[in-house]
Structure 1
Amino acid sequence: MNLLQHALIEKAGHDNGFEHVLPNSPEGWLALGSARHPAEVSVQAQDGGFRALLTRSQAGLPEELARSFSEFIEGEAMSGPSFLLPSQAGLAGWLRRAASLAQALPNQAMVAFDGQVKSALAELEPAAAMSTEVQRMVRQRLGQQAFRQAMLDYWGGACAVTGVALPQALRASHAKAWALCATDAERLDVYNGFLLSANLDALFDTGLATFDDDGVLHLAPVVTGPALAALGLAPGLKLRWLDQHHRPYLAFHRAQCGWWLP
């Protein structure tokens, strides 16, 4: 690897979620990491493009990353499948997606959330910080923010159904409602919900819409043809993808729709 290639890879990492060059990079590779998430990657220049692989990650991250970059997988290299990326833009996209997933997947959102809660409580007067009600309100406010960010990261900033990529029109929808979750880890689980456009969120949140285990959208009978047209919906819509870890939460959500779902 020459100095220019080294500089290009380092800059791509710095700009896309891997701001640190790690020591002891394998020969011919550049190892990158971040203080914001646990993932580490190695990249080398190859045939006018780049070869990249995950060398450290949470469970599930390699599979999620392969979902978005399946056409670039080039067999095994070192510790797992490598991705042959044809350009610097392709490398940047791969790094950005890897970093986003690393920040969204369990339990990274929970780690960040705990730190935010401690910082927020430390800024309050001691008497207020000790109040159970204040602590509950702080945890809920920050938790909702953390969950939304995890949804944006996981779904790439686009609706899980329509692909609409307008953050102002997107909502982080819980499958198992915040109040019904037993723990904060369950509330912040990136698989406990979907990033949905506001119209779909309203239906999903009120139990007028749900998804089956294949990701197909089902609507309550009261959502008639004229309402579908007005909402901009159509039969046959489905989730862009569905992970097995979504299914237990979806089963819970469908149980709440038992009054209309066959």
Structure 2
Amino acid sequence: MAIESPQSFVTYSASEQAAWQNGFRKNLGQENGWAAFGSTTAKGTIFLASGSDNGSWYVAIDHPGVVAELPFPKACVTHPGIAAYSAAHMSELYPVLTRIYELSVSLPDGPLEEFQAATDGLPEKTEAERLVKQRIGQDIFRNRLISYWQGRCPISDISDTELLRASHIKPWKDCETDAERLDVHNGILLSALWDAAFDKGLVTFKDDGTPEFSSKLSAPAMSSLSGHSKRISGLTAGHKENLIWHRDQVFNP
């Protein structure tokens, strides 16, 4: 596919608006018809271009973690970065850009870097001081899980933010490093009831995302959980590794 190069004023304006509205607000110039944009909060660079003959649009990215998890087919076009994606119209490209941003702020170490910046110089000699630092980390972890899971519990489809919990698969206290504590692959955004059951080992998840229930659940609890659930899709190798730990160390069959 041929790329419009250089971009016209109209094309560049549309590229800039799309990038801005999806969190990439740093203009990084243009080369070979691809306009580059960065972000102060998200990792990596996005590149936007328009087809010269059919009005289609393209986005290319250079973030390997995002490429690994972005659920869209790749485009066959010469591009910067490591992968490109296409849409027939700009409006169809917006969901791709939104998901790129959501993943870019979470992978692989965005939460850790934010935590380190927020806690740099904070004392942690006393238990109270350590708890302050932990709360900061848990708030960051929650915000990034909300982005990663697109603000919705993948089991119940509940999207009321007040009812969602940032559930660590391997609890904060059992993690050996801050990187492990703040890794979004060590968390699932669960509604309150699912979070409580998961935390207490009354439910876990198989590698394919299917819930596994404990025999210790009461009949009403089992009915509430099993009657409003589905399989989690899109679990990564990181999620699965942490779920092995959860099944071995937390789950009560």
Which TM-score applies when normalising by structure 2?
A: 0.88
Secondary structure, in 3 states, of the residue corresponding to 2:226? coil
Rounded to whole Å, the distance in 2 between the matches of 1:3 and 1:13 is 15
Structure 2 counterparts to residues 1-150 of structure 1, below 5 A = 1-23=7-29, 25-46=30-51, 47-54=54-61, 56-57=62-63, 59-65=64-70, 67=71, 69-70=72-73, 73-75=74-76, 77-78=78-79, 79-118=81-120, 121=122, 129=123, 131-150=125-144
Rounded to whole Å, the distance in 2 between the matches of 1:258 and 1:199 is 16
Rounded to whole Å, the distance in 2 between the matches of 1:211 and 1:12 is 37
Q: 1:124 — aligned with what?
A: none
1:25-52: CA deviation from partner (whole Å, max 9, x where unpaired): 2221111111222210111123333111
Asked if structure 1 preserves the Cα contact closer than 8 Å seen for 2:37 and 2:45, the reply is yes
Q: 1:243 — aligned with what?
A: 236
Q: 2:151 — aligned with what?
A: 157
Q: 1:126 — aligned with what?
A: none
Secondary structure, in 3 states, of the residue corresponding to 2:141? helix
Q: CA deviation at 1:257?
A: 4.0
CA 1:4–1:214: 2 relative to 1, 3 Å? same
Runs of 4+ aligned structure 1 residues displaced above 3 Å come to: 129-135
Q: 1:211 — aligned with what?
A: 205
Q: CA deviation at 1:100?
A: 1.5
Q: Which amino acid aligns with 1:217?
A: P
Asked if structure 2 preserves the Cα contact closer than 8 Å seen for 1:75 and 1:81, the reply is no
Asked if structure 2 preserves the Cα contact closer than 8 Å seen for 1:216 and 1:236, the reply is no
Which TM-score applies when normalising by structure 1?
A: 0.85
Asked if structure 2 preserves the Cα contact closer than 8 Å seen for 1:18 and 1:95, the reply is no
Deviates more, 1:159-168 or 1:194-203: 159-168
Secondary structure, in 3 states, of the residue corresponding to 1:77? coil
The gaps in structure 1 that reach 5 residues or longer are: 122-128
Q: CA deviation at 1:141?
A: 0.7
Please state if 1:220 is matched with 2:227: no
Asked if structure 2 preserves the Cα contact closer than 8 Å seen for 1:39 and 1:99, the reply is no
Rounded to whole Å, the distance in 1 between the matches of 2:127 and 2:237 is 36
Q: CA deviation at 1:130?
A: 6.6
Rounded to whole Å, the distance in 2 between the matches of 1:95 and 1:190 is 20
Please state if 1:234 is matched with 2:227: yes
1:70-124: CA deviation from partner (whole Å, max 9, x where unpaired): 4xx32353343321123333323222211121111121110011111127x4xxx
CA 1:222–1:41: 2 relative to 1, 3 Å? same
1:147-182: CA deviation from partner (whole Å, max 9, x where unpaired): 101111111111122333222211110111111111
Q: Which amino acid aligns with 2:58?
A: R
Q: CA deviation at 1:198?
A: 1.2
CA 1:84–1:180: 2 relative to 1, 3 Å? same
Secondary structure, in 3 states, of the residue corresponding to 2:41? coil
Rounded to whole Å, the distance in 2 between the matches of 1:63 and 1:91 is 18
Rounded to whole Å, the distance in 2 between the matches of 1:220 and 1:130 is 38
CA 1:162–1:240: 2 relative to 1, 3 Å? farther
Rounded to whole Å, the distance in 2 between the matches of 1:9 and 1:164 is 33
1:175-232: CA deviation from partner (whole Å, max 9, x where unpaired): 1111111111111011112011111111111100000111110011133553333x25
How many residues are treated as equivalent by the alignment? 244
Q: Which amino acid aligns with 1:29?
A: W
